[in-house]
Amino acid sequence: MAKWYEEAVFYHIYPLGLTGAPKYNTEQETVHRLRNLDPWVAHMKEYGATAVYIGPLFESASHGYDTRDYRLVDRRLGDNEDFRHFVDLCHENGIRVVVDGVFNHTGREFFAFQDLKEKREQSRYRWWYQDVSFEGNTHYNDGFYYKAWRNCFELANLNLYDEGVRQYLFDVVRFWIDTFDIDGIRLDCADCLEFNFMRGLRRVVDAEKEDFWLMGEVIHGDYARWTGEDMLHSVTNYELHKGLYSGHNDHNYFEIAHTIRRQFDANGGIYRGRRLYSFVENHDVDRLVNKLNNQDHLVPVYTLLYTLPGIPSIYYGGEWGVEGKKEGPNDDFLRPCLDLEKMEKEPPHPELRELLIKLAKLRGESPALVDGEYRELLLTNRQYAFARILGETAVVTAVNNDENPAGVDIPCPVEGSKALEVLTGEILPIENGRIHLEISAGGSAVFKIVQE
């Protein structure tokens, strides 16, 4: 039986942006903006989301990844009771909750870094940070050097080889589970974390809560290194993310098909059996509508997101096709404050609503989309069809990146008498073991094979 996270549809929220919190944490009073997310829980449920990844959440100086205090919800968002209320409301609606775990670094206002600044060589936390040297310096002119994430010295790298750091962070995770009843953690900068730290974290969460999920942010590298029985359950599939938009922009479905063959083919896919976290946009990358040359391709891209191997995720606003593009290092445009009622009334791309609701429903009803073998059925530069097969059942997906409708002839991967197109309700006959159909320009079709 599949775990909840294997069959999940995720919704991703960057709460400081969505709630319109100030960019810098200079507020003295707690402002209970998390309570404004209550109606978003019903919205997530309507779109078939069964899990939400929300973060960062904890007290920080600015964007949330420069942590001040791991045990306090950021005062710009509210307090610990506000977040527990959000988790309880999600659970009441069948939605699991995953938070950001920012364990690669802390902000400079974190207590251990402050102690290091004050007591220098005598600080008991001297070894909590990487490469501390009192013979060096940084542009902050502290009188000592330390290693920072990508030389952003507001983010001081923790030394995860130090037992004190490890036990502190493990206790933080136990606190989160006990206090908030969270269901998983997305590890920020997992590709920078020490592997034995992640193994230790896996042991901690396995002991604390059944079916607790660990997912890591990994951009480059062999994803198999981070996932396994004693490691993380999943990582971000940036390789597929890139292919999903560039394969459409270049009219090159071979790029997407090659990625999936390499990753998940039953006869040699290097990640077969693993469940990677699939996405088309998030809080760090441009919105999909800004990456696509032709916005009509939103439909086939999202169809592939839900039906290819992986755990699909929608980043808030993506269900309406909102725009957002990085400007240099500025991510603000990727993380907007959105008015739920206004967006539902005036969505930029209203065609996405019905599509995403139907795709989530299909995933929930189709074990083949969770556990099914991937099999390529048809591939050209502009048309692509594949099946997800489980036993004698199959779901068949066909997409078209051409500016014109395309007739395709797809071999049926299992025995069946007809094919039910789930997005339109159309029924097509299966003749001589093949499905004949015309896909609209920039369109998609998804079939259940009916056996009678």
**Domain limits, the chain:** 10-368, 372-450
Residue with tokens 């997912």: 215
Query: Is residue 66 within 8 Å of residue 155, measured between CB atoms?
Result: yes
Percent of the chain at pLDDT > 90 equals 97
What confidence tens digit (pLDDT) does each residue in 362-380 have?
Answer: 999 999 999 999 999 999 9
Residues 6+ apart with CB under 8 A from 405: 438, 439, 440, 441, 443
Q: What gap in Å lies between CA 238 and CA 429, rounded to an integer?
A: 38
Question: Per DSSP, what are the bridge partners of residue 215?
Answer: 186, 234
Looking at domain 10-368, what is its CATH homologous superfamily?
Answer: Glycosidases (3.20.20.80)
The two three-digit tokens of residue 280, written as one number: 């088309």
Residue 1 has pLDDT above 80, yes or no: no
Residue with tokens 């990456």: 291
What topology does CATH give the domain 372-450?
A: Immunoglobulin-like (2.60.40)
**C-alpha closest to that of 62 among 12, 102, 94, 99:** 102
What confidence tens digit (pLDDT) does each residue in 137-190 have?
Answer: 999 999 999 999 999 999 999 999 999 999 999 999 999 999 999 999 999 999
Quickly count helices (H) and strands (E) in the chain: 13, 20
Burial status of residue 32 (CB atoms within 10 A of its CB: 0-12, 13-18, 19 or more) = middle
What confidence tens digit (pLDDT) does each residue in 273-319 have?
Answer: 999 999 999 999 999 999 999 999 999 999 999 999 999 999 999 99
**C-alpha closest to that of 22 among 12, 13, 10, 31:** 31
Question: Is residue 266 very low, low, confident or very high in pLDDT (cuts 50, 70, 90)?
Answer: confident
Residue 452 has pLDDT above 80, yes or no: no
